[in-house]
Structure 1
Amino acid sequence: MSQTYFAILTDRGEAKLANAQALGTQVQYSHMAVGDGNGNLPVPDRLQPALVREQYRAGLNELKVDPLNASQLIAELVIPENIGGWWIREMGIYDADGDLVAVANCPPSYKPQLAEGSGRTQVLRIVLIVSSTAAVQLKIDPSVVLATREYVLTTVTALLADTNPVMAGAASPGAAAKAARSDHRHPTDTSRAPLASPGFTGTPTAPTPAATDKTTKVATTEFVRRAIGDSEGGIALPVSAATDAVTDFNALNQPGWHPNLLGGAPGARNANHPDGQAAIGAGNGVVNYYWSLLAKHSNNLFHLALPYVSGPDLSLATIRFRLLGGGEYSSWRSLWHSENLKEATKEEAEAGALQGARWLSPLRALQLLRAAAANANEALRGVLRVATQVEVDAGALDDVAVTPQKLFNGALIVTSTYMALKLPSWLGGYILQRGSVSIAAEGGASVSVTLPLAYTTGYSAIATFSYTGTRVENANYAQPRDKTLSGFTLDNQWAGNGSNIAGNIDFFTFGK
């Protein structure tokens, strides 16, 4: 006999699973829903986008690989006792994008709620056979999970059966089959040192503090070696102790690191400041404060000034240096590199009036050359920019070029049984269609018309009745009905006086 109850992946579920397998990613199943099938037992359809009539949806309580079959996924939903009052005939799984990825039917089961005098917590499961369970993310929101009796019994049984629980005390297992905290240490354990005045043995270790740490943390051998600057560690430079706005930069004549920040505000800087005494605007690679590092041999000095930066100077400030030889300092010089220079903006390049330190990329250079070329007009050859489709549709500019593609955008001509013309977007994108059909005399005479181009929003339709032959008295007229975006039906109507005859109906439509 055929199978009545079953679960399948929807077309979206199949596509997402196949895509995840191909790209090495995962699909996240997040919710499960139930419905009453609108009073009937539904047959799962891979093309359905939703349940027939959904009654309840919630986050998955559990999503796992079947321990007895590695190609099967088990999704579980728990419905609390205060939810219900309807039948359950269909179930579905939704992913994190809100798409129905799996659907199933089930034997009808009534879910009561407490207000009806009876209630129960209902556990529902869907078992899916997939080609790769690795392509499904087994992740559940712990805030919505309810522990089932099976889960509790399985977990507690495993804990109570463990005769060697994780412990921080002696390594040997205990005799009793009881669970213990992972940080448990028995009070009689003497293998560990006390917190107060511990006496370490062996080779104890500790975390290495930062090089600038001045707290009461334990100094490791690594910290000490770095502090003294030996061959296996860097020199630990002390942090700035003060901001000095008085000392002359020329007064620094001893080798070593000078941690105080020397500088001062613009206009009142220390003497012989690397950036001079004048106030210079932000964004020009100028800072107010510097640290100093000096190297000395005999009476010759190398003075390196390291900038203290903030705000707009962050990406522009440079390291400055100078030399002292024969009792005379050289001027301050900068250590430049590509990151010290800002690229000119498109506007700066096209203006051709660059200020400050800027550089031109090939694109900016091309933009400068294009901007420098003469703009074409009705009396002068030159360069024109190609207009965007929005500008063509607006029809306001007179100094841009229109390409055939943008001029023809959206236009379409159809000549088949009927004729259609779609205007380009700059003419509104309207659609005009016409045609003619032969029709019998009134008395059930009608013809269905399928338009060459379907409308998207709406349209108007007119139709007229015509015939050939000897003139007769008649009252026939054309009547469109059952209009849709893709067509309508034409009727040959007779008013009941004169002759009822067959003929032709010509129609015309206009809209978008």
Structure 2
Amino acid sequence: MVDQTSQFYAILTKVGAAKQANADALGIPWKITQMAVGDANPGGLDNPPLPMPDASWTSLLGEWRRAPLNQLKVDERDSAVIVAEQVIPAEIGGRWIREVGLYDADGDLVAVANCAPTYKPLLSQGSGRTQVVRMNLVVSSSSNVVLKIDPSVVLATREWVAEELARQDFKHSVLAATTAAITLSGLQTVDGVALAAGARVLVKNQAAAKDNGLYLVVAGGAWTRCPDADTSAKVTPGLLVLVERGTANGDSCWQLITDATITLGVTALAFEMAFGRSGVAAGTYRSVKVDTYGRVVAATNPTTLTGYGITDAYTKTQVEAMIAEASAMPVGFMAALPVNKIPPGWLEVDGSAKSIAAYPDLAAFLGGAFNNGTEPAGYFRLPESRGEFLRGWDHGRGIDAGRELGSWQKGSVHSFDIGPAVGSVADRSGATTATDARSGLGYDAGERADYTLAQTVSVAGSNVTGITDTSEIAWGATRPRNVAVMLCIKAWNAPINQGNIDIAALAVLAGQATEANLGTARIATQVQVNTGTDDATIVTPKKMRNGFSVLLEATGYIALPSWLGGWILQWVNGGSMSSIASGGSSAKTLTWPLAWPAGPLVPWVTCTGATSNEVGMVATTSGMTASSIVASVYNSTASAKSVQSVIAFCIGR
């Protein structure tokens, strides 16, 4: 149906109406393929009349171009309207457009329309444009119209391009992206970027995720969504947008990861960074954390297995502990060495005191078992093995009962039989001497003198005729043949020197420090500081200052510490004295700031007149105690004088 009040309209021709009816009744597809334009001026008139479409037309009045359709679709607002469109390039034209016609696949004119006269210039005429000609055709039903065009002849209009670009996933870049929820109105600063009106912003952190998206900044009002992301059709899963500036998000790309069907303003929108800054500084790292896009988002340089997250391997501490436990020679093990060479990590068992800091493992093992009370603080003592045999601990067996581990035991008394003397002694004077069966036993005179020789001999006259009975002879401890060795004890818990610890150097440093040698120095006691004779300890600042005090006032003192003699210097400003008559005197008691511990030694006083030092005014001391002094002032002048101040000073201890 045509609105008769309209000046410009489109109608189906009789052929077109018949084909439409046939398509509706029989379901035969109806293909509209081409559009023709004409000037409705077959006679070449200067101002031809506007053509009025007629259903009986089989061709246009003045057709000058026919070409395939650029677009054929059903109107989005009305399904009974078919929209046909053709694009005329800039290089075609030089004619007027007053009439439009549609042709189907059979070459029949099926619809005609008139339009406002429009001149289509040629580019060669100095003014060219791409002309879009569109016809909206009302049909009884669009369901049987084949909406298909040849893509090889399609030319895009700007509006179509803009619309289609708006539907693409890659959007125009934004100036900044939010880092937290914001109020979507007015001018503000986002991610360190001051926004001006019209700036594009990616909003991605709103509490209500449905409000996320691309926005235009509006000064003094609510922000609006960007034209390329203001409808549901334009906001699609996978949407990408570049961020130009920003402290955290500058030079990054963000992707919409919401995969469901999107209804703008209803569906929650979630964005993730596809690429850009991760916050990790440039450098070489041993361990990194990678996100779902393969970006390094965290990086470290661990130095332990735990730092690498390795749980099925032993740590350095565990390995050292196992080696120490598995070693055939744990700390405290003693070994005999045939030469005077001490291996690294070992010490000679010589009863000396050693530093706990230098040998912590051995100190923990021995504790204070061999200390004798003379060890300096921070030291422990080794057992003594020089010149001694070693004996297994009885440990309840009962053979050597009462013994403690590490205890010393002197040699025991041994008893053994000696047979009769060989030969006989001619007389007691020793003219003839028998061979003593005790010879070669290895005892010395001191050991033999400790014991009693018990034997019975027969004496006939002056001659010894022989030993008639032999009893046991007690001698000192027996010493077998032996080889001297140096006994050493393992002092370090590592099987070898660990490289960064020089045990030999530690041993030197553990010794007492002197002016010539590095070592460990002890802290002096306060008594040693006060005595001032010790030259092997260090004095701390606190002990050096102990006893020193000062009061720097008009009445004050300086008290030196005892190690500087304990001297005290005190002074008292007694203030003024009343007028003293000529030839008279006046006395005033002044109190010392500190009571003298041992009494003052050298006191003196002085005075000043009211305006200047007065000649004839003499101050002397007339009394002195541990806490005060009496100052006397004598006036030898011919007139009365006043005293501005009288001052006492004293040195003592």
Q: Normalising to structure 1: TM-score of the pair?
A: 0.33
Structure of greater Rg: 2
Q: Normalising to structure 2: TM-score of the pair?
A: 0.26
